Copies of this chain bind each other. A is one copy, B any other.
Amino acid sequence: MTRSLYLCNVRLADGQQVSVSIVDGRIDALGADAAAPRDAQIEDGGGALLLPGFVEGHTHVDKSNWGRPWYRNEVGPLLTDRIGNEREWRRTSGHDAAAQSLALSRAFVAAGTTRLRTHVDIDTDARLRHLEGVLATRQTMRDTLDMQIVAFPQSGMLIRPGTVELLGEALAEGADVLGALDPALIDGDPVASLNATLALAQRYRKPIDIHLHEPGEIGAFTLKLLLDRVQASGMQGQVVVSHGFCLGALPERERDVLLDRIADLRVALLTSAPPSCTVPPLKLCREKGITMFGGNDGIRDTWTPYGVPDMLERAMLIGMRYDLRRDDDLTIAFDCVSDAAARGCGFADYGLRVGARADLVLVDAETVAHAVVTRPVRKLVVANGRIVARDGVLTPPRA
């Protein structure tokens, strides 16, 4: 039997009243005249604002404490303090990557996220345990949440022998993307680290998403080494640089040389828009044709107490970080957690258009900017053509 849904009486960002016809999980028609498919479930949107399902471009569902007792953070201030503390916590807390990733993923969907890229820790202590947990969550959520898994060497790669091999196993077992982390300041050897990352990605034919926290001039140095290798290896369009704090702290001339190469090599940039760090210049990146998108990074874990699985709140924080106040500017913040994020991660069939996967969100808001700053309860979430949440709460699974 054909599965169909007809969402009528909803409003596009430009104010146009439309209906959406959905057949077999796809948008079949969208417009003022879209007719109801035969035998469709009919849903009246009550004039609410229609948005595409949100895209989380960078998070860590494997190690969130979402829904668990409060974690009292007493961690030291260094990156290495946080990494070491987390390894210890994983060993001693009864950490369960499957249960914890499922709890957070469900909360994401309830708040309108239908696509998500998550970085999953791979190291010589945890080995592939996190990956297995998140693969189980991906399987459980497969009809609802389109999840990309990054095999991420959180504890460093070259500095922990055996990690390269584990990353390879992870890619063979279902990870979609190869992660990497601070080749100079964590791995201690930027050339060897980047060479190993590029070799691994090419061997498994996977794209790369590198966490580059390295600041200022050292970050610029590492970034240039990376871009050289992207160019030499023909990996144009297959690399994301996450964080890229250095791009917010360089002299303009030096920064612009890097941004122009980033644009040429179709490298995408991810930001969580942290208010206490320098960040790449959002509007300038867009002007240069760079895909720059947004993500929460960790949510309520041993690294950070902050974060909620709500991409409208992340869009608001992006807006605040970049001082976007005008309504038209705030649509940029929303783009960072919708179209630009889908493009940056390479999620297919995305968007409010005929033929796309029917991932939709309804909210009571006058404009996109209004939705971003007020973060209203999600009236309705449709994923893959099915209603999966109402008023912020997941609907029971279909019989």
Interface residues of A (CB under 8 A from B): 69-70, 72-75, 273-276, 300, 303-306, 316-317, 319-323, 325-328, 330, 365-367, 369-370, 373
Contacts and interface: CB of A to CB of B under 8 A. Distances in A.
Contact of A304 (B317, B325, B370): B325
Given A276-B320, A300-B373, A320-B275, A73 B305 contact: no
Given A74-B327, A325-B75, A69 B366 contact: yes
Contacts of A369: 70, 72-73, 305
Contacts of A366: 69-70
Q: Which of A274, A303, A317, A326 has the most CB of B within 10 A?
A: A326
Contacts of A74: 326-328
A114 to B, nearest CB: 24
A305 B373 contact: yes
Contact of A373 (B306, B319, B330): B306
A323 B79 CA distance: 13
Contacts of A327: 72-74, 305
B306 A316 contact: yes
A70 B326 CA distance: 12
Given A366-B70, A367-B72, A306 B320 contact: yes
Contacts of A317: 275, 320
Contact of A275 (B321, B326, B370): B321
A322 B367 CA distance: 31
Contacts of A365: 70
A300 B69 CA distance: 34
Contacts of A73: 325-327, 369
8 contacts: A70-B370, A72-B367, A73-B325, A73-B327, A73-B369, A275-B275, A275-B320, A305-B327
A366 B305 CA distance: 13
Contacts of A303: 325
A322 B276 contact: yes
A197 B328 CA distance: 39
A306 B319 contact: yes
A325 B74 CA distance: 8
Nearest to A375: B308
Contacts of A325: 73, 75, 303-306
A276 B319 CA distance: 10
Nearest to A74: B326
Contacts of A70: 365-367, 369-370
Given A73-B325, A306-B373, 7 more contacts: A70-B366, A73-B326, A73-B369, A74-B327, A75-B326, A275-B320, A317-B320
Q: Which of A72, A73, A319, A326 has the most CB of B within 10 A?
A: A73
Contact of A276 (B75, B323, B328, B370): B323
Contacts of A319: 306
A323 B267 CA distance: 28
A274 to B, nearest CB: 8
Contacts of A370: 70, 305
